[in-house]
Chain A
Amino acid sequence: MKLTLKVWRQANATASGKMVTYPIDEVSPDMSFLEMMDVLNEQLIQKGEDPVAFDHDCREGICGMCSMFINGEAHGPDRLVTTCQLHMRKFKDGDTITIEPFRAKAFPVIKDLAVDRSAFDRIQQAGGFVSINTSGNTQDANAIPIDKHDADKAFDAATCIGCGACVATCKNASAMLFVSAKVSQYALLPQGKVEATDRVMNMVTQMDEEGFGNCTNTGACEVECPKGISLENIARMNREYLTASVKG
């Protein structure tokens, strides 16, 4: 395959960036998108140019590190996959592909396509956990019976890998899908209910402080989420938040 790549190049967080065009050939349809980026970087290194910086780690859709905005969509045109799971067979020979970093005020660009998503870490630290006694007397989680329906929903929410595609794709750069998944995975379980009020208040407060936008229920996040996290979680978080606000 021969392709034309238009890639966002930005030297560092404070530099102004621009789209740079790179022709690339010898791309196999069986390559993953990241492998195609590796080929591009090999070519750039051979020419003595700076390779394109991009986030990646597990390359099997688990870690949530890869984060490109490809042809106007987070993780590209495929559904329920991360960029590392996107294959070049999804594109046609001769295509022009635009590649940009995830853009949000709360996700500042570090370099090229690599963005700082530590805002998600701080939201997690604000309440995305269950406080337990680790002295050795911790009760076995399986000792508490949990309704299968609730357990399944909690597990579905817990599949969020925190990649930030929801923020990147939302026209408002809202983080509601991510935060609601993290709130839901605990709110649905008896172990998480104890701290539910503080959790939702603290996580939403931190989300607002990070500068994410507001949810207007466009549903774009659910469509682009590589793990298919449902909007039902946002409704649940809204209920949790309203209840917590009334309780004080």
Chain B
Amino acid sequence: MALSGLFLVVFLTQHFVINMTSVISPATFNSFSHFMGNNAVVQFLLQPILIFGVVFHFVMGFVLELQNRKARNAKYTNYKGSANANWMSRNMILSGIVVLSFLGLHFYDFWVPEMNYKYVEVLPLDPDRYYEELIHKFESPVRVGIYALSFVFLALHLLHGFSSSFQSVGFNNKYSKGLQVFTKAFALLIPLGFVFIALYHHLNAF
């Protein structure tokens, strides 16, 4: 879980950087997107690895949740979980399911049309289409709302998961406090940045 989670954090960072260019420079965004969408290494090596990483992470999450539920076959009548652990750490499965549902919508919005464009309809290469496709998706206030809500849950997931993954791989030393600050800042700023991008394009559409 920890290693796949750390891998997905790296992916999230590069995704954020590319998305952020759509706010700064549409031409740069188109150029990055065209590269990512047509480079053979990205498409046929990195993309399958990413899909494997995502599937492994959520399947393992469900497996661990089932094992953990089985480990306490009789429930307490009074269990004060908030007395000793924060909400995020106790509800990773909930925040994870919301993020997974969002991924379904995200695939439907971007990945499926992209696969359809390139491999089903086999339309001609158009390096300038990506920015237009992006801003078109953020016209709907409902979609932007769902995106924003999903990123709130991603932030909650990362607030525990990012720092927790270092503990799981055995990293707990004098640098851990500094790392905690970094992981918490990352967990808040990156999802907030994604929400900003969605809102920016939504508001600019009018």
Contact = CB atoms under 8 A, between A and B. Distances in A.
Interface of A: 6, 8, 19, 69, 71-73, 77, 98, 100, 103-106, 109, 169, 171-174, 211-220, 223-224, 231-232, 234-236, 238-239, 242
Contact of B77 (A73, A100, A106, A216): A100
A57 B123 CA distance: 78
Report the contact-size class of chain B (Cβ under 8 Å from the partner): 20 to 34
Given A235-B171, A236-B172, A220 B85 contact: yes
A216 B72 contact: no
Contact of B68 (A19, A106, A109, A214): A214
A94 to B, nearest CB: 17
B170 A173 contact: no
B77 A19 contact: yes
A236 B80 CA distance: 28
Interface of B: 64, 67-68, 70-81, 83-86, 89-90, 92, 160, 164, 167-172
B84 A223 contact: yes
A218 B72 contact: no
Nearest to B169: A238
Contacts, number: 105
A231 B177 CA distance: 13
A175 to B, nearest CB: 9
Given A171-B85, A217-B164, A71 B71 contact: no
B93 to A, nearest CB: 9
A171 B73 contact: no
The B contact surface, by secondary structure, is loop
Closest 8 CB pairs of A and B: A72-B80, A213-B71, A235-B172, A239-B170, A172-B68, A223-B84, A218-B85, A218-B89
Contact of A169 (B64, B78, B84, B169): B84
Q: Which of A72, A109, A217, A236 has the most CB of B within 10 A?
A: A217
Given A219-B84, A232-B172, A71 B167 contact: no
A67 B141 CA distance: 54
Contacts of A235: 167, 170-172
Contact of A242 (B89, B160, B170): B170
A216 B78 contact: no
A173 B168 CA distance: 17
Contacts of A239: 170
Contacts of B171: 235
A172 B68 CA distance: 5
A238 B172 CA distance: 10
A172 B83 CA distance: 16
Contact of B72 (A103, A232, A234): A103
Contacts of B164: 216-217
Contacts of B80: 71-73
Contact of A73 (B64, B71, B84): B84
B64 A214 contact: yes
Nearest to A109: B74
A171 B90 contact: yes
Given A217-B89, A238-B168, A238-B170, A173 B68 contact: yes
